[in-house]
Amino acid sequence: MEILETWAGQEFLTVPQLTRVVVKRAIAEYLKQHPLESENDTDCPPDPQPTEVKPATAAKAKRGKASKGAS
């Protein structure tokens, strides 16, 4: 952890930001060495098909005088 903190400080990044950069670079290097033949080669499930969504009705909160300042 100390090494990550020192490295991040030298790069003017937070540890999470540096970690993200390092992981992205590692993934890019992995994909260079192990190119995917198609998008279906991943273990991720396919994106669900969009379904029709009906707009939600807005519910208005009712505030009476009793709710204001009542303790």
Spans of all domains in the chain: 2-36
Supply the pTM of this predicted model. Answer: 0.48
Rounded Cα gap, residues 38 and 57, in angstroms:
42
| pLDDT 10s digits, 1-59 | 999 999 999 999 999 999 999 999 999 999 999 988 765 555 655 555 555 545 544 55
Rounded Cα gap, residues 24 and 49, in angstroms:
28
Nearest residue to 19 (alpha-carbon basis) of 43, 3, 33: 3
